[in-house]
Structures are given as structure tokens and as C-alpha cells.
């Protein structure tokens, strides 16, 4: 994070993307400080996929209990609770596993699977629907004595959604009815050295899991996986010294975040180490905006040069400043959790602002200045390691002068914030504000702005009214519902970096 002098009575937040966590997050054990008034009645039986309706008679009980037997083949469990006129709570337990979630606007969903903590367990699950207060619920007009609700539990067991032949591909989609995954069976002939699985045409954060001889029931030692904060995952099974095991492989495509909208994909299987040739094309990005005239939608024209940067730990933003692919971002965007810096990153670009960016390139981290929180990334290859096309030119953003800005001047922040979409991958986002003031740092003044900034914006572009980059959105101070964003200006770049970028911009 940036070092700033002075005392701020607020919490400063770094804006790198959240560290990746596989699977669907679930709330942990119940910690309420009250006792539900139990009815003493025997638990009621649930059947998978069959909703049950009920009523809490609060004069007699504050909870109703239900039971469901979960088989060892289960890989996901989803429980939905809908309450009417009052917010109820849902608790679930099986052995040492315990979860809880309250309703919000009368609805709650508890998702438990192979990769939650704790994971799904076979056995008899107990679900308790209850009113979590010693005081009765009230409406604007009266006190409620009865609260109606409905509960539905659905168990998803292992299955095979299709047979994927090596050398072919299948289009698929993950939706609510799929349980958050699709499973494909691949037959590997004897004598094969490799099995390669690739996901493409993805707009969500999907993961790959593979296991020989049986379905993936848990993340055990015999499961191979690819879990990155983007969607175009690849799995290469086998290497020069140890060929892939022949026989039946089960491959799961898993949606990291349970979304209401379908997550489409295409899955490829091949018996080669190299990716399929149809995945290697690199599209031409938008034209350079370096010479864009004033008034020709300069901010919109700059969007093609603002990219998403992903590491194994997080997702942030960056801006292409030279036609040969030098990208300016924040140092904390390319930092490892626990210290150090990633050597390589994935660069995704927006081909359509209405869709999430597409994984197109891989770059190396060439310069890092932790004190100023800057880093330079140079694009070296395509996403699959393929060479860039001869003469390939990247779109760029013209460099502006942050010293020419005054308080009250307009400023735009462009990047890929986590609030920029309702799914697990977000679209490019532009927010507008003004230069609100300045803050002192060890390396000089930092720009303040009221333009909206959230996790994932870090490393993106702060643009002036002509669409020229004047700085990098880096951090924010937030108190209550108010926030101030901090932009590290371009004139804070080390002199050697400015000389490097200037020389490349002239060629």
C-alpha cells in the first residue's frame, strides 16, 4: 500500500482484487446469543427437490426442524428458505459440519459443496427454520403470532453430462439446475502421453477438476485442478517423464460463484501438449487514442487500452502506454500474498464493453516500485504462450499532465472493479468525478477524487477530460457511506521509467 504522512481517522483500503477462493462460500456455524423455543416435535422429512410449506406458531415454538438424508455420491446441496412478513433464520448441520444464514427480504439460500469449508458430508442433515429473537416480530400495524415460510432442499449427485472425445469440443452451460457444475467423461487410449483440457468462450470464473477412474467427490490428492481468477482454464495431464494414465477420466467444469444467469463455455479435449489451433488467434484491439482530437469521445476511445491483470492471487487493472505492450499498473496488483512479486501475469482485454474481458496475453513484470506503488508489465506472448503476430500493435492511451489539473477539474477512473458486474467476471467500468484535493506522500502529492472506486480498480487509468492518462487509481479512504479515492499521478513515476516509456512511445 502507499505510504502517506499525516493522520487519517479512517480505514485505508488497497484496491487489489480479492484472493481467489474455490467453491461457493457458505456462512459458518450459528453464533446467536439466544435460545430458540423448541416445539419438541419430531423432525419433518424433506425430499430433494420437493418444497415444503409451514408456519411458525410463535406462541408454541420459535423453530421448525427438518431432516434430509444425503448420499455419499452427493457433491452439492442447496437449501432455499422463503419467509413471509418476517426475516427468519436457517441453520444446517450434519455431524461436526454447521452452517447458518439469515433471510434478506424474506429469502435465503445456503449452498454447500465439495469445496466449501467444511465440505458437504454424507449422512442425515438437520435444517432448522427459526425466529432469532426473544421479542416477537412486528409489522407497522401489529405483532405477528404466526410466520409462514417455505423450504426446499436439493441434492446434486455425481453424474455424466457428456462424453468428450479427444480432438473434439462440446458447448455447455452451467445454470441453477445443474448444481453449479458439469461433468464430462474422456477416454484416453493406451500409449497416450498427454491429455489436455481447455475452456474457451467463457464469460464467468470457471474452474477445471479432473480425476482418473471415478467422479470428483472431494479435493483429494488424486484430483488435478486449475483454479485461477479467470475463466479460460487449461489442464495438462502427463509430462515427458510420466505419461497420462490411460483409461477413463472424469472432468468437472465448476462455477466458482453460484449465479442466477447461465455460465456458457466450450470445453476442448486433446491428446497433445499444445492447445488446439483454433484457440491461438489473437484479435486486433482498438486503434490508438494518442492522437484522438478533443471532443471525439476521448474517454470512450481509451477503453480498449485499459486491461484486466490477473495473478494466481488477485485481479486488478492496468493501462497500455506503448504500442509494443508496456502496461502501467500498481505494485500491489502483482504482489503475492505473503510478500514478493509474480513474475508473470495474465492480461485480458475488452473486445466488447458489454461483455467481460477476454484472456488474450501473458506479460512479465519488468519494474516494481513498492514505495510509489507502481509496476510495469510487458506483454510477451499470447495467452497460450503463442508468439504475437508480426508487427502487432497495441492500442495506447495518451499521456497527460497531472500538474495541469486544478481542484474541481473533471476526472474519469477506468478499470475492472468488483462492483462492475453481477457475475464472477466483470465488465469494464468508467466512473466520473472531480479532482477533490491533494494528499502528501513520501514521494510527493497524491490526487484526491470523489470518483467511485472499489476493489479491482487498482492499476487502472485516471483520465482527464481529453482522455489522457494522468495517474493510477490506487487506494481509498472510507468512513461510513463516504469515500475519497487516491490517484498516484504520473509525475511520481521514477525518472528511468518515464524515459523508458517516452522512448518507446516515440517508436
Distance from C-alpha of 250 to C-alpha of 213, rounded to nearest angstrom: 7
Between 105 and 506, residue with greater pLDDT: 105
Concatenated DSSP letters of 330-342: -GGGSBPTTS-B-
Q: Report percent pLDDT > 70 for the chain.
A: 87
CATH code of 449's domain: 2.40.10.10
Between 422 and 386, residue with greater pLDDT: 386
**Residue 94 φ/ψ, nearest 5 degrees:** -155, 110
Mean pLDDT within 248-277: 91
Mean pLDDT within 275-279: 96
Lowest mean pLDDT segment, chosen from 218-227, 413-422, 432-441, 461-470: 413-422
Nearest to 205 by CA among 254, 148, 138: 254
Q: Each residue of 213-244: pLDDT tens digit?
A: 999 999 999 999 999 999 999 999 998 789 99
Answer yes or no: do 147 and 227 share one domain: no
Q: Does the structure show a pLDDT above 80 at 4?
A: no
Answer yes or no: do 166 and 275 share one domain: yes
- How confident is residue 142, by pLDDT bands cut at 50, 70 and 90? confident
Answer yes or no: do 131 and 173 share one domain: no
Cell of 147: 410466520
Scan for cell 448444481, then name that residue: 179
Q: Which of 134, 157, 180 is the last residue of a domain?
A: 157
Q: Supply the pLDDT for residue 297.
A: 65
Nearest to 471 by CA among 452, 448, 455: 448
Domain membership of residue 177 (yes or no) is: yes
Distance from C-alpha of 430 to C-alpha of 300, rounded to nearest angstrom: 9
Answer yes or no: do 153 and 166 share one domain: no
Q: Supply the pLDDT for residue 467.
A: 92
Highest mean pLDDT range out of 164-168, 429-433, 494-498?
164-168
Q: Which of 394, 413, 444 is the last residue of a domain?
A: 394
Distance from C-alpha of 386 to C-alpha of 325, rounded to nearest angstrom: 15
Between 192 and 258, residue with greater pLDDT: 192
Q: Which of 218, 245, 279 is the last residue of a domain?
A: 279
Q: Can you list the pairs that 160-167 forms with residues at least 24 positions away whose Cβ atoms lie under 8 Å? A: 160/184, 160/185, 160/250, 163/187, 164/251, 164/267, 164/269, 165/269, 166/192, 166/195, 166/269, 166/270, 166/271, 167/269, 167/270, 167/271
Q: Supply the pLDDT for residue 319.
A: 97
Q: Supply the pLDDT for residue 138.
A: 87
- How confident is residue 422, by pLDDT bands cut at 50, 70 and 90? low
Given a contact cutoff of 8 angstroms between Cβ atoms, the answer to whether 44 and 120 are in contact is no
Mean pLDDT within 321-332: 96
Q: Which residues of 191-211 are buried (b: 16+ CB within 10 A; e: fewer)?
A: ebebbbbbbbebbbbbbbbbb
Distance from C-alpha of 61 to C-alpha of 359, rounded to nearest angstrom: 54
Question: SS3 sequence, 454-475?
Answer: CCCCCCCEEECCCCCEEEEEEE
Under 8 Å CB-to-CB from 232, ≥6 apart: which residues? 198, 199, 200, 202, 358, 359, 383
How many structural domains is the chain composed of?
4
> CA Rg, the chain, in Å?
26
Mean pLDDT within 348-357: 93
Scan for cell 482522455, then name that residue: 467
Domain membership of residue 406 (yes or no) is: yes
Domain membership of residue 15 (yes or no) is: no
Answer yes or no: do 325 and 390 share one domain: yes
Cell of 436: 477533490
Q: Does the structure show a pLDDT above 60 at 95?
A: yes
Answer yes or no: do 148 and 49 share one domain: yes
Q: What is the chain's length?
A: 507
Domain membership of residue 128 (yes or no) is: yes
- How confident is residue 31, by pLDDT bands cut at 50, 70 and 90? very low
Answer yes or no: do 406 and 482 share one domain: yes
Round the average pLDDT of the chain to a whole number and report it: 87
Distance from C-alpha of 262 to C-alpha of 281, rounded to nearest angstrom: 26
Given a contact cutoff of 8 angstroms between Cβ atoms, the answer to whether 64 and 54 are in contact is yes
**Residue 504 φ/ψ, nearest 5 degrees:** -70, -35
Angle at 261 between CA 256 and CA 266, to 5 degrees: 65
**Domain residue limits at 302:** 298-394
CATH code of 195's domain: 2.60.120.380
Q: Each residue of 151-186: pLDDT tens digit?
A: 999 999 999 999 999 999 999 999 988 999 999 999
Q: Does the structure show a pLDDT above 70 at 12?
A: no
Domain membership of residue 60 (yes or no) is: yes
Answer yes or no: do 337 and 375 share one domain: yes
Q: Supply the pLDDT for residue 330.
A: 96
Q: Report percent pLDDT > 90 for the chain.
A: 71
Answer yes or no: do 49 and 119 share one domain: yes
Cα separation of the two ends of the chain: 33
Q: Supply the pLDDT for residue 505.
A: 64
Between 24 and 82, residue with greater pLDDT: 82
Distance from C-alpha of 19 to C-alpha of 24, rounded to nearest angstrom: 14
Q: Does the structure show a pLDDT above 80 at 2?
A: no
Lowest mean pLDDT segment, chosen from 74-83, 134-143, 154-163, 397-406: 134-143
The pairing of strands 162-163 and 181-188 is parallel
Answer yes or no: do 144 and 210 share one domain: no
Answer yes or no: do 260 and 316 share one domain: no
Answer yes or no: do 388 and 406 share one domain: no
The answer to whether the bond into 118 is cis (omega within 30° of 0) is yes
Q: Each residue of 354-404: pLDDT tens digit?
A: 999 999 999 999 999 999 999 999 999 999 999 999 999 999 999 999 999
486 bridge partner residues: 448, 475
Angle at 149 between CA 45 and CA 108, to 5 degrees: 95
- How confident is residue 294, by pLDDT bands cut at 50, 70 and 90? very low
Distance from C-alpha of 233 to C-alpha of 251, rounded to nearest angstrom: 12
Amino acid at each position: 500500500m502507499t505510504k502517506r504522512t499525516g493522520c487519517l481517522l479512517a480505514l485505508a483500503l488497497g484496491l487489489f482484487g480479492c484472493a481467489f477462493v474455490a467453491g461457493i462460500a457458505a456462512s459458518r456455524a450459528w453464533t446467536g446469543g439466544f435460545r430458540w423455543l423448541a416445539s419438541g416435535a419430531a423432525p419433518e422429512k424433506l425430499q430433494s427437490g420437493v418444497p415444503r410449506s409451514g408456519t411458525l406458531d410463535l406462541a408454541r415454538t420459535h423453530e421448525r426442524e427438518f431432516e434430509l438424508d444425503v448420499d455419499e455420491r452427493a457433491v452439492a446441496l442447496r437449501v432455499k428458505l422463503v419467509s413471509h412478513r418476517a426475516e427468519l433464520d436457517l441453520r444446517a448441520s450434519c455431524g461436526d459440519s454447521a452452517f447458518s444464514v439469515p433471510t434478506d427480504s424474506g429469502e435465503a439460500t445456503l449452498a454447500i459443496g465439495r469445496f466449501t469449508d467444511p465440505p458437504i458430508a454424507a449422512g442425515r442433515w438437520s435444517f432448522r427454520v427459526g425466529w432469532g429473537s426473544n421479542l416477537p416480530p412486528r409489522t407497522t400495524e401489529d405483532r405477528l403470532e404466526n410466520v409462514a415460510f417455505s423450504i426446499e432442499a436439493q441434492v446434486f449427485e455425481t453424474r455424466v453430462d457428456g462424453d468428450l472425445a479427444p480432438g473434439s469440443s462440446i458447448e455447455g452451460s452451467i445454470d441453477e439446475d445443474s448444481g453449479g457444475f458439469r461433468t464430462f467423461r474422456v477416454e484416453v487410449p493406451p500409449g497416450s502421453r498427454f491429455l489436455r483440457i481447455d475452456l474457451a468462450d467463457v464469460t464467468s470464473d470457471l474452474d477445471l477438476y479432473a480425476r482418473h477412474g471415478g467422479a470428483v467427490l472431494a479435493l483429494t490428492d488424486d484430483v488435478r485442478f486449475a483454479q485461477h481468477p479467470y475463466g479460460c482454464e487449461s489442464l495438462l495431464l502427463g509430462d515427458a517423464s510420466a505419461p497420462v494414465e490411460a483409461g477413463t477420466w472424469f472432468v468437472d467444469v465448476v462455477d466458482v460463484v453460484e449465479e442466477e444467469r447461465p455460465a456458457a463455455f466450450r470445453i476442448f479435449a486433446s491428446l497433445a501438449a499444445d492447445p488446439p489451433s483454433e484457440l491461438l488467434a489473437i484479435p486486433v484491439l482498438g486503434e490508438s487514442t494518442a492522437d484522438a482530437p478533443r471532443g471525439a469521445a476521448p474517454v470512450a476511445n481509451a477503453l480498449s487500452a485499459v486491461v484486466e491483470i490477473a495473478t494466481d492471487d488477485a485481479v486488478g487493472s492496468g493501462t497500455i502506454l506503448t504500442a509494443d505492450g508496456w502496461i502501467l499498473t500498481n505494485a500491489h496488483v502483482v504482489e503475492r500474498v505473503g510478500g514478493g512479486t509474480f513474475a508473470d501475469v495474465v492480461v485480458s482485454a475488452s473486445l466488447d464493453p458489454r461483455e467481460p474481458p477476454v484472456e488474450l496475453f501473458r506479460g512479465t513484470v519488468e519494474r516494481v516500485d513498492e514505495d510509489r506503488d507502481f509496476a510495469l508489465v510487458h506483454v510477451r506472448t499470447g495467452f497460450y504462450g503463442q508468439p504475437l503476430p508480426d508487427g502487432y500493435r497495441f492500442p495506447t492511451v495518451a499521456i497527460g499532465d497531472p500538474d495541469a489539473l486544478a481542484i474541481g477539474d473533471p476526472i474519469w477512473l477506468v478499470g475492472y472493479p468488483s462492483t462492475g458486474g453481477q457475475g464472477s467476471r466483470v465488465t469494464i467500468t468508467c466512473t466520473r468525478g472531480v479532482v477533490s484535493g491533494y494528499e502528501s506522500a513520501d514521494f510527493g502529492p497524491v490526487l484526491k477524487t470523489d470518483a467511485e472506486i472499489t476493489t479491482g480498480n487498482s492499476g487502472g487509468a485516471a483520465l482527464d477530460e481529453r482522455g489522457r492518462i494522468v495517474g493510477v487509481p490506487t487506494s481509498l479512504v472510507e468512513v461510513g457511506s463516504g469515500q475519497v479515492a487516491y490517484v498516484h499521478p504520473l509525475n511520481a513515476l521514477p525518472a528511468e521509467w518515464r524515459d523508458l516509456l517516452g522512448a518507446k512511445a516515440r517508436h
